[in-house]
Structure 1
Amino acid sequence: MKIHIAALAVSAAAISTLLLSTGPASAHPYDGKDPYKSGCANSKVFTGKKASLVNEIGDSLGSIRLYYSRRCGTNWGEAQVPKNATGSITVFTSSKRVSFTYRAGNGGHHWGDMVYAPSGVCAKASGTVAAGTGRVNRGSGTTAAACG
């Protein structure tokens, strides 16, 4: 019985090592990168998809827009919120999601990191905003999908 347990432990360790050494099959070098620092934003186009970041009573606290880089084949979200607001921006496809947390400042203009979504892949952007205390100062929203 001890031999079987030892063999099982070795097998589990080997599988664990294999899983740790191989990344996700869908990972791409642009995933999680800043669109402006990478230069991808130089070829950005607005997809036409945007959403309001609304609180629980329907008041708009900002907006989120979905952008695409023709050169890089990537998508990311950009939020326009009050200057004192914090929150997050997430861009996702059916198989990947990349999130970014922003702090107050930058004139209320923030952008998230990219996800590789070449032609034919659909992407959405979602955002959250906290512009003070209390639930009415918190909002969220998600764009419709844009399919390159």
Structure 2
Amino acid sequence: MKIHIAAAAVSVTAISTLLLTTGPASAHPYDGKDPYRSGCASSKVYTGKSASLKNEIGDSLGTIKLYYSRRCGTNWGEAQVAKNATGHIRVFTSTKSRSFTYRAGNGGHHWGDMVYAPSGVCAQASGGVSAGIGRVNHGSGTTGKACG
């Protein structure tokens, strides 16, 4: 009897290990990848969806735009902010998202990681910016949905 219990324990451990290493079924190789390093940005198109990154009194501190790669079937956000600004970019669908934090520099042009969103899947991008101390130097915004 002890031999059967030990075998069952090994099987449960093996199954648990397998489940932890395989990851979610919805993961795609492009999820979380840089659109420029991967080559996906070479076929990028602007979706026509953008938003101002506004502070609490309505001043714009930058812009976030949603892009799509025809070759890769992916979406990502790109922010244009002040050179000294920091912040984050998030791209999301109804089932998954990826976030990216940017530091000051790069001329104020930053992009986030991709989410695989092939034809028929809707995506959005959101961003946040911090251009100094105080609430008026912090802004955020979210684009409208673009459905491939």
Partner of 1:112: 112
How many residue pairs are counted as aligned between the two chains?
A: 146
Q: Deviations over 1:26-80 (max 9, x none)?
A: 1011111111111111100000000000111111100100000001100000000
Alpha-carbon distance change, 7 to 128 in structure 1, aligned in 2, over 3 angstroms? farther
Partner of 2:95: 95
- TM-score, reference length from structure 1: 0.90
Q: CA RMSD in A?
A: 2.0
Distance 2:93 2:126 in 1: 11
Residue identity opposite 1:138 in structure 2: H
Distance 2:7 2:147 in 1: 48
Residue identity opposite 1:113 in structure 2: D
**1:96 CA displacement:** 0.8
Determine whether 1:19 maps to 2:19: yes
Q: Deviations over 1:91-120 (max 9, x none)?
A: 000111001110000110000010000000
- TM-score, reference length from structure 2: 0.90
Partner of 1:38: 38
Distance 1:95 1:23 in 2: 15
**1:13 CA displacement:** 4.3
Gaps of 5+ in 2: 1-5
Residue identity opposite 1:23 in structure 2: G
* Aligned pairs (5 A) from 1:10-89: 13=13, 16-89=16-89
Gaps of 5+ in 1: 1-5
Paired-residue identity, %: 83
Give the ranges of 4+ consecutive aligned residues of structure 1 lying more than 4 Å apart after TM superposition.
6-15
